[in-house]
Amino acid sequence: MNIGIFTGLADMGKLAGICRQVGVDKVILGLGSLPEFKERGYATCGGIAELKDNMARIGVGLAGITPPNPSRDAVLGENGSEVENLCRNIKAIGEAGVEIVHFYPLDRFKNYKDEYHHEKPPLEVMPGEDKWDRIIAFFQRLAETAEGANAKVSNHVFAIDVLMEILDSIGSPALGVTYCTGNYMFGHDPYASINMIGIERIFVCHARNLVRHGPGRQGHEEVPLDRGDIDMAKYIRILAEGKYNGLIIPEHWGENGNLADSVAYLKKLMA
């Protein structure tokens, strides 16, 4: 296991500074920070490879890239040009030697916005319903692209059963999970869910702690990693016992927390 951070910084000086400040040397970078992506809507293998080399010169590894969230229309196969650009980006990421596509595939396709309603299904279209086959076709296209480019698409999880239905339907080793302890907000057990998914399908981990005051998303308060309802030591131990060897990324550390303290805390637990 290793600790990394998210960032949108493409400025090498600033990137080197924040990595030194918090004590990490692995980064997942937002694709939107690349100038060529801003110009065209997609990146190239050459552009990503150059960025990766520039980061290596300052002692920072490019562990993954986060493309923009796909639109609802793209997931339903109703925006072909957007899906084409997404696949072009996945291909470029993999061919540039960056293994992880850190992906939020369904965040614009939820049945809720600010609140999670347990009495409503988490997605507008659920398994077996009309248009579900379009969602499967969308992920099948991503899987085929990723397999051809030696990339891994790490899909952020919120509704575990829905995501597992997608992954099981396609059965591609290129499709996996960004496991986040924030699934606690949505009624999941943050420890048992790891075994439900399987360590081999977890490509990236997020570390996030919360205190539950009531139901749903708005009933949870984000807090520093060393306090809250989630036992971070137990979380790390389960990952270690399962021989997880990917990145753990701290996030959403509450108004009294910060990135440097979060990294230091995770390092202490891992040691």
Phi, psi of 67 (to 5 degrees): -75, 165
List the single range of 1-5, 10-14, 53-57, 79-83 with lowest mean pLDDT: 10-14
Say how many C-beta atoms besides its own lie within 10 A of residue 146's C-beta: 24
Quick one: which of 38, 35, 85, 96 has its CA closest to 62? 96
- Which pLDDT does position 157 carry in this prediction? 83
Q: Are 138 and 162 in contact (CB under 8 A)?
A: no
66 has pLDDT over 90: yes
245 within a domain of the structure (yes/no): no
25 within a domain of the structure (yes/no): yes
| Token pair for 239 | 């990952």
Q: Are 251 and 206 in contact (CB under 8 A)?
A: yes
164 within a domain of the structure (yes/no): yes
Total domains, the chain: 1
| Helix residue ranges per DSSP H, 64-153 | 72-75, 80-95, 132-149
133 has pLDDT over 80: yes
pLDDT tens digits for range 202-235:
999 999 999 999 877 778 899 999 999 999 999 9
198 within a domain of the structure (yes/no): yes
CATH of the domain at 62: 3.20.20.150
Please report, rounded to a whole number, the percentage of residues in the chain having pLDDT higher than 90.
78
91 has pLDDT over 60: yes
Say how many C-beta atoms besides its own lie within 10 A of residue 73's C-beta: 14
- Which pLDDT does position 107 carry in this prediction? 82
List the single range of 22-26, 136-140, 216-220 with lowest mean pLDDT: 216-220
Q: What is the pTM of this model?
A: 0.94
Phi, psi of 152 (to 5 degrees): -120, 125
241 within a domain of the structure (yes/no): no
User: How would residue 158 be classed by pLDDT, with cut points 50, 70 and 90?
Assistant: confident
45 within a domain of the structure (yes/no): yes
108 within a domain of the structure (yes/no): yes
Give the number of residues written for the chain.
271
- Which pLDDT does position 169 carry in this prediction? 96
Q: Which range of residues forms the domain containing residue 138? A: 2-207
DSSP per-residue letters across 38-77: HHHSS--HHHHHHHHHHHHHTT-EEEEEEPPPPPHHHHTT
- CA atoms within 13 Å, Cβ hemisphere of 150: 6
225 within a domain of the structure (yes/no): no
